Amino acid sequence: MYFEFGVVGINDGTTVTIVPSQPVAFDGQNYTTGQAFSVGLDRFETLQVQTDEDLTGSKITASQPVAVLSGNMFAVCLPAGVPQVGSGDHLVEMIPPVDTWGKEFVTVPLTKRTAGDLFRVVAARDNTQVDITNENTKTLNAGEFWEIDVPSDEYRHVTSSEPVLLVQYSKSSDADNTLTDPFMMVIPPVAQFETEYTFSTVDLISDLSEPTHHINLVIRSANKAGLRLDGQPLPSDTIWHDVRESDYAAAQLDISAGTHTVGHLSPIVTIGLFSYGFVRPESYGYPGGLRLARIAALCSTTAPVPADRVDNDCDGRVDEELLNGIDDDGDGLIDEDLAIGNCADNRDQYRACLVQQCRNLVP
C-alpha cells in the first residue's frame, strides 16, 4: 500500500512548494514531516510523491495554476482500527483547489452495499469546527482530517465553520462480502452543485455479464418535482430520503449503461449527482460534475453578469438569481447574482422568455 499524490504543470516556470504530512524522499533527498521543499515544473511536466504513510493533509502551493491528483497505489478501504487486508484497488482523484472547497455537504450511501461507507473531512484552516449528523462536533486544524464510518441506511448533513474537502470511499469487498473493489469519490459542497449534467457510465470489463450502474441525487426537497432524467420525469417508484437537519432530500437510481443527462426545469435549482457502478471484482465512482467557483477565496462584490460563475454578492453561492425583481434566494437582495444570460437582456420580456425556454413558470 503506497500513498501518493501527483502534480501537473500547466505553465512554464512554475514553482511548486510541498509541505508533506509524513516523512518523504524526493529526488534523492529526505524530508521530514512539515519540512517544505520546492520543485520547478514546466508545461506538461509532472512530479509524484509516494510513501508508505498516509499523506492526507499535505499542503501543495504553486506560483501558477497546477493540477493535483491524490490517491493510493493499492488501497483496501476498511474502517480505521480494522486490519487493512482483503480486496483493494488503485485509487486516484483530482483534488479541487482550496478556494473551491465548501461549508455544507450531503452524504448519500452507495446502493448494493450493506456495511456502510467511509468519509473523510479534510480541513484547510486552523480551528475549523465540523458538525455531522449523529456525530459529536469536532474541531480540526489545517491539514487534519476526520474519518467516519456511515451506515448504509443513513443520509448525513455535514457543515463546517471554514471550507473543507469531503471524500467518500466505497469499502473493500470484505466489509460486506460484496464482490467488488473499493473506489474514492470527491463529494462537492452543495454550493458547487450544477443545474444540469451530461455524464457517461464506465465500461467495466472484468465481467461483462453483470455490470450495474447507479446514480445518487441530492436536491432541496421542495424542488424534487422539476427533476428530469434524460428529459423525462424520474421513475414513479423513486424513493426519496429526507436528510436530517437540512432541507435536502436524496435518492438512489439504477441506470442503464451509456450517456445520460440530469437537469431541472428551473435554471436556478441546483442538483448534486454522483455516478458509480459495480462488477465482479471492479468498481468506479465520480461526481457527475461540479462548479469550481472560488467561493472560499477572499471576495469583493461585483456587478452581476448573467451566468458568469462568479459569487457576485459574496454569499458563498453562484448564479442563484433570476432577473425578475424578486429575491429568489432569500438573502434580502434582488437580482444580484444572475443565473442565465440568454433571457436576461430584456427585463420586460424575461418572464415570457423563461416560460418558453424553461417551461417552469406560469404566465
In a 10 Å sphere around its CB, with 0-12 CB exposed, 13-18 middle and 19+ buried, how is residue 92 labelled?
Answer: middle
Round to whole Å and give the CA distance between 159 and 133.
9
Which range is least confidently modeled, 84-93, 95-104, 182-191, 302-311? 84-93
Round to whole Å and give the CA distance between 156 and 104.
11
pLDDT digits (tens, 9 = 90+) for 142-195: 999 999 999 999 999 999 999 999 999 998 878 788 778 889 999 999 999 999
pLDDT digits (tens, 9 = 90+) for 257-280: 999 999 999 889 999 999 999 887
What strands, in cross-sheet order, belong to the sheet with 37-41? 37-41, 14-19, 59-62
pLDDT digits (tens, 9 = 90+) for 111-146: 989 989 999 999 999 999 999 999 999 999 999 999
- What does the pLDDT average to over 56-81? 89
Query: Is the predicted pLDDT of residue 67 greater than 90, yes or no?
Result: yes
Percent of the chain with pLDDT over 70: 90
| pLDDT value for 346 | 44
Q: Which residue has the higher pLDDT, 224 or 346?
A: 224
| pLDDT value for 84 | 63
329, 340 Cβ separation under 8 angstroms: no
| pLDDT value for 91 | 87
Percent of the chain with pLDDT over 90: 65
Query: Is the predicted pLDDT of residue 60 greater than 90, yes or no?
Result: yes
Phi, psi at 355, each rounded to 5°: -60, -45
Q: What is the mean pLDDT of the chain?
A: 89
Phi, psi at 293, each rounded to 5°: -70, 145
The confidence band for 355, taking pLDDT boundaries of 50, 70 and 90, is low
133, 96 Cβ separation under 8 angstroms: no
- What does the pLDDT average to over 199-218? 83
Which range is least confidently modeled, 35-39, 108-112, 223-227, 304-308? 304-308
DSSP conformation letters of 136-153: --EEE-TT-EEEEEE-TT
Instruction: Give the helix/strand (H/E) hosting 51.
Output: strand 46-51
Query: Is the predicted pLDDT of residue 64 greater than 90, yes or no?
Result: yes
pLDDT digits (tens, 9 = 90+) for 245-259: 999 999 999 999 999
- What does the pLDDT average to over 3-13? 97
- Locate the domains of the chain by residue range: 1-75, 76-287, 298-363
Phi, psi at 310, each rounded to 5°: -120, 140
CA dihedral sign of residues 73, 75, 81, 83: negative
Query: Is the predicted pLDDT of residue 351 greater than 60, yes or no?
Result: no
